[in-house]
Structure 1
Amino acid sequence: MLEHDIWWQVYPLGAVGAPIRGEVGEPSHRLRRLEPWLDYVVELGCNGLLLNPIFASVSHGYDTLDHYRVDPRLGDDSDLDHLIGECKARGLNVVLDGVFNHVSRSHPFVTERPDLIAWDGDEPRAWEGHGDLVELDHSNPAVADLTVDVMCHWLRRGISGWRLDVAYAVPTAFWRDVAARVRAEFPDVIFIGEVIHGDYVGFIEESTLTTLTQYELWKAIWSALKDTNLWELAHAIDRHAEFCSHFIPQTFVGNHDVTRIATLVGPRLAPVAAAILMSLPGAPSVYYGDEQGFTGTKREQFAGDDEVRPALPDSPADLSPLGEGIHREYQNLIGFRRRHPWLSTATVEVTSKSNEALTYRCTSGQRWCDVRVDLERASVSLIADDEAIDVG
C-alpha cells in the first residue's frame, strides 16, 4: 500500500482552531471541522490523511495524558469514528500520530505506574531537557505491551497505520518487537518512524518499521533552492537513491515541525520544490496549506510552533484566491504522480548538475521520467513516456 500513498498531513489541534493551552472541560466536537476538507483532499489527488496527535494531552498533543481517549478539545470517540468513516467512504486511509517515547509529566503513570517511567534517581527522566515530558522505560516489557495494545485498539477502529514520534530515541529492538506483534493481527499496517538523521538503512533493517521521515532530502531541497546550489540537491538525490534501494522513504517539503516551504524558498520557488518532491521516488506527503502557499516560521521559543500550525477556514470555499495558482500546480503534479505510480519505487540517477540547473532520470523497467530543474527560470519540466508537464 505504501507505494501508492500520498498523504495530506494535518495538525488537528491547530487546523480546527482548538486552543493549544488552557482549555479543560467537556468535549468540544471540533474534529468534525475537518469533514468539509475531505473532498478537497481527494480533488487534490491525495489518498491518505496523516493526522498529528489527537489523544488527550496537556497542550500541543505530544504531552500525552491518555492514549485511549480523544483529546476533549477535538471531541470524543464518536467524532473520530465519524471522521474515519467519512475518510473510508472517499478512499482515504487514516494514519495517526503515536507518541510512545514519552508522556506528560502529569500523566497518571508517573504516580500510579512508576514502573513504566524511566527514572534518574528520584526524578522522572526528562526527554531532551523538556521537563514537562518524561520518558517511558522501554526496557520494561510492560511498555511494549502498552504500545501494542494502544496501536491495535485504534487499528481495530479503522485506521491504517502509525506515525511514530521521535522513533529515533527508542531502541530499535523495541520497535522490532512491537511491529511484529501488531503485524500478527494487522499484516498491512504502516509504520512511519520519525528519524531526523543517522543511519537510515540500518534503522529500518533493525527496527523493521515500514519507512521513516526523509529529512536529508527535505533539507537539501529547500537549502539548494534558497542558496542556488543544486550540487547540494544532487548529492542528496544520490543518497536518496541508495536509501530507496532498501525501502520507500517518506518524503516531504513541509510538516508540523519546520518552517513552511513558501517561507524558506519564497512563493516563486515553492512550486519547484513540490515538483522535485512529486518526481522523486518515495511516499510523499503534503502538509496542509503548503498547496495553497501558506507561510509561517518555526521558532525555537515558547509557542514557537504555532505559526506553522494554523487554523483552516471553515471550508475550502473560504480560502484566499491568492493560493489558486500554487494549488493548480500541486494538482497537476500529484495527477502526474498518480498516472505514473511506479515513480514511488523507481531508480533515480542524476545526469547533469550545476549551481542553477539539474537533471535526473527515474526509471523502472522500460518506464522512465526525465526531470530538469532550472532555477534561473524557476521552472521544472517532467517528461515521462508520452507525457510532459511544466511547472513554473
Structure 2
Amino acid sequence: MNQKIFIYQLLPRLFGNRATANKINGSIEENGTGKFNDISDTVLQKIKASGYTHVWYIGVLAHASATDYTAYGLPAEYPEIIKGKAGSPYAVRDYYDVDPDLAMSVPGRMVEFEALIRRTHTAGLKVIIDNVPNHVARNYRSVNKPKGVKDFGEGDDTSQAFSPQNNFYYIPGQPLEIQRSHRESTGPAYNEFPAKATGNDCFSNRPTQFDWYETVKLNYGVDYLNGRQAHFDPIPDTWVKMRDILLYWAEKDVDGFRCDMAEMVPLAFWQWAIPQIKEKFPNIIFLAEIYNPSVYRDFLADNIFDYLYDKVGLYDVLRDVSCGYRPSSDITFALNDVGDIQHRMLNFMENHDEQRLASDYFLKEGNKGKAAMIATCCVNTNPVMIYAGQELGERGMDEEGFSGKDGRTTIFDYWSVDTLRRWNNNDRWDDAQLSGEEKELQQFYRQLITLCNREAALTDGLFYDLMPSNYENREFDSSRLFAFLRSDKKELLLVITNFDNRIQECTVHIPRHALTFFEITDTGRGILKPLLHENGKELPFMSHSPVRISLDPYSGEIYRISFS
C-alpha cells in the first residue's frame, strides 16, 4: 500500500516560541523567537504519531530582518526595505545560509539546521524547505556561498534594462524610491542606483507599499518590456546559479522543495533544472505554488513538478461552500476541472498565506472546518497540507505589527502563537493546557489523517462522485451535503459531509454503476460501519435501496460498507 502524503507546515520562528510578551512591532529581544532546537525528538515523534509524513519548514533560508547580526559578519540591514521586524521569509538575503534567528549559536546555525534534518528523518518524517526562485531581498549578499560562487548581480551590466546574462532587471539612470509614508530606521538610508525591478514584476523605480518592495525580480532571460521575448540560448547565468542552489540543499538531505511562485519563473527553466536535480536525487519531490489553471498540465508534463497547489480550485470552492456562499454541488465542478491531474494537486484549507479557518474572517470556529477537511483529505490520493495550529483551532486574530489583525498568523513579525504555546509547555508538548474543544479538534485531525493512511481505499483507491446520482433525491440537500465513494476494489468506503449549520437527515442513493465501476460483485444486504466516530451507530445497508444517515452540523463521516 502506498502512503498518502500529509505535510505539516510550520514556521520555526513561531512554532517553538514560548515568550508571552507579544508586543506589537516588538523586537526579537522583546518578543522572542523559536529555534531549530525547539523542534525536538519528542515534538517530531508527536507529529509522526499524528499521521504526517513530511514537515515543511518555512523561513529556513536566511532572509532580511531588522535584527542586527553584523557582529557575526552578516550584512547590515535596512528596515525601510523590510516588512516587519522579523522580515518576510520570502525576501531571501543569502540562498546558501539559514536564518540566524533560529539558531542557539549564530556561528553554528547551519550545524543546528543539519541536526534538525537528521532528527526529522530519525522520527520517520521527510523534510521540505522553500525554494524562492523568482525574487531575492533587495540587499541580497551571500556570506555563506561556496568557494568560487558569484553572487546574484555580481558582474551585471547595470546600464542595460535587460540583458540575458544579467541576474536582475534595471531602471537605468533612476534611483529606487519606495512609496511609503515614513522611514522606520534611524540608521543610514538604503540607496539603490540604478533601481532594480521589484519581485512582483513591477518594472518601476517607484514601487508602492502594495508591491513586493522588499524584493527584486530575478532575470531568467525573459525580456518583459519587449513582448516577453525569451533569450534562453545560451543558458542564462541565473539558471545555472539557481540550479546549483537546489543541488546545494539537496546534498544536505532535504527531501523536497516547495517552489515559491513557480509560475513567475519560465517553465523552460524548470524543464532544464529539475531533471538534473532528480538525476542525482531521484526521490526528491518538487511542489509548485501556482495559481494559473491554464498552465497546470504544462508544469506537470514529463514529471517536471510532482505536485501543484490546488488553491484557485478546490480551496476556493470549499471555502465558499463552508461559508454558505456556494452550493456544495460546486465541489464536483472544481474536481472535474482537474479530473485527470487531481491526484497531483496539493489540497489544504490553511497555509501561511491564507486566513485561519477559525478566524473572524472565515468560519470563526475551528470545529466548523471539519466537513471541509474530510473532503480535502479524502477525495483522492493526492497530498494534503495542514498549517501548524490549524489542528488546535488557532484563530490568527492577533494584531502583531506589520501583519495586523487580518485572520492570518504573521510571517513578518516576532510573535508567539497562543495555541502552540499552550501545547508547547514545560518541554512536554502535550495537551495539558488545551481546552476541551481544542483537544477534541486535535483528536479529530489525528484520527482523520491516520485513517487516511490506514485505509487502502483512501490511500490507493479510485473516486466515485455520488452527487449526480442524488440531484433529484428530495431527501438529499445537494446544496449543503457532499457524498462520494472511495474503493481499492476490495474495501468500499462512503464519505459524506455536511456543510450546514444544522443536523441533516438524508438518504443517499448509490447507483449500481458505482459498484460495477469498482468491480464489486458481492453485493446485497450489509452494514455501514462509521470509522471517524468509532462509537457511532452502525447502519443497515441494501445495495438496491437508499441509505439513511444523520449528520451533525459542519461535520461528516466515513463509512466502511461491508456486505454479508
Taking structure 2 as the reference length, what is the TM-score of the superposition?
0.62
Counterpart in 2 of 1:390? Answer: none
2:448 to 333, 343, 350: 333
The one-letter amino acid of 2:245's match is: V
The more displaced of 106-115 and 268-277 is 106-115
Query: Could you list the runs of 4 or more consecutive aligned residues of structure 1 that deviate by over 6 angstroms after TM superposition?
Result: 18-21
Q: CA deviation at 1:197?
A: 3.2
How do 1:1-392 and structure 2 match up within 5 A? 4-17=4-17, 30-35=35-40, 36-58=42-64, 59-75=87-103, 76-108=109-141, 109=151, 112-114=154-156, 115-121=166-172, 122-128=194-200, 129-139=211-221, 141-199=236-294, 200-205=296-301, 208-215=304-311, 216-227=313-324, 229-244=327-342, 247-263=343-359, 264-265=362-363, 266-281=365-380, 282-296=382-396, 302-304=402-404, 307-309=408-410, 310-311=416-417, 312-313=420-421, 314-315=424-425, 316-317=429-430, 319-321=433-435, 322-344=437-459, 346-352=461-467, 354-374=478-498, 375=500, 376-377=502-503, 378=553, 379-384=555-560, 386=562
> Aligned equivalents of 1:326 and 1:386: distance in 2?
28
**Paired residues, number:** 381
Report SS of the residue matched to 1:50. strand
Q: 1:249 to 1:368 in 2, by over 3 A?
A: farther
SS of the counterpart of 2:494? strand
Shift of 1:169: 0.9
**CA 1:183/1:111 → structure 2, altered by over 3 Å: closer, same or farther?**
closer
Summarize the Cα distance change of 1:206–1:332 in structure 2 as closer, same or farther, 3 Å threshold. same
Distance 1:169 1:384, change over 3 A: farther
Deviation at 1:79, TM superposition (A): 1.2
- Contact kept in structure 2, 1:270 and 1:293, CA below 8 Å: no
Question: Which has a greater percent of helix?
Answer: 1
User: Aligned pair in 2 of structure 1 residues 160, 4: CA closer, same or farther (>3 Å)?
Assistant: same
Q: Which stretch shifts more, 156-165 or 267-276?
A: 267-276
**In 2: Cα distance, 1:110 partner to 1:256 partner:** 27
CA contact 1:258–1:298 (8 Å) conserved in 2: no
* One-letter amino acid matched to 1:380: G
What is the aligned partner in structure 1 of residue 73 from structure 2? none
Contact 1:350/1:361 (CA < 8 Å) preserved in 2? yes
Task: Check conservation: 1:10, 1:51, Cα contact below 8 A.
Answer: yes
1:283-313 CA-to-partner distances (Å, cap 9, x unmatched) read 01111111111112599x9425794145432
Q: Structure 2: state its 5+ residue gaps.
A: 65-86, 104-108, 142-150, 157-165, 173-193, 201-210, 222-234, 411-415, 472-477, 504-552
The change in CA–CA distance for 1:381 and 1:72 in structure 2 (over 3 A counts) is same
Provide the rounded CA distance (Å) in 2 between the counterparts of 1:124 and 1:189: 34
Q: Which amino acid aligns with 1:340?
A: E
Q: What is the CA-CA distance between 1:249 and the residue it aligns to? A: 1.2
One-letter code aligned to 1:40: K
Question: Larger Cα Rg: Structure 1 or Structure 2?
Answer: 2
Q: Is the Cα contact below 8 Å between 1:116 and 1:136 reproduced in 2?
A: yes
TM-score by length of 1: 0.88
- Quick one: percent identity of the two aligned structures? 19
Q: Secondary structure at the match of 2:340?
A: helix
Kept after mapping to 2: 8 A contact 1:54/1:71: yes
Asked if structure 1 preserves the Cα contact closer than 8 Å seen for 2:170 and 2:195, the reply is yes
What secondary structure is seen at the aligned counterpart in 2 of 1:262? Answer: coil
- The runs of 5 or more residues in structure 1 that have no matched partner are 388-392
Q: Does the 8 A contact of 1:238 with 1:350 survive in 2?
A: no
Could you tell me whether the CA contact under 8 Å between 1:51 and 1:95 is conserved in 2? yes
**Cα offsets for 1:134-159 (capped at 9, x unmatched):** 11111263222222222222222121
Q: Is the 8 A contact 1:110 1:124 kept in 2?
A: no
* SS of residue matched to 2:241: helix
Q: Distance in 1 between matches of 2:486 and 2:282?
A: 30
In structure 2, the residue corresponding to 1:184 is in which secondary structure?
helix
Output one character per residue of 1:222-270: Cα deviation in whole Å (capped at 9) or x when no partner. Answer: 21011162122232233343322xx521111110100012232233422
TM-superposed CA distance for 1:15, in Å, is: 2.1
Rounded Cα–Cα distance in structure 2 between residues aligned with 1:357 and 1:29: 41
Distance (whole Å) between structure 1 residues aligned to residue 216 and residue 11 of structure 2: 22
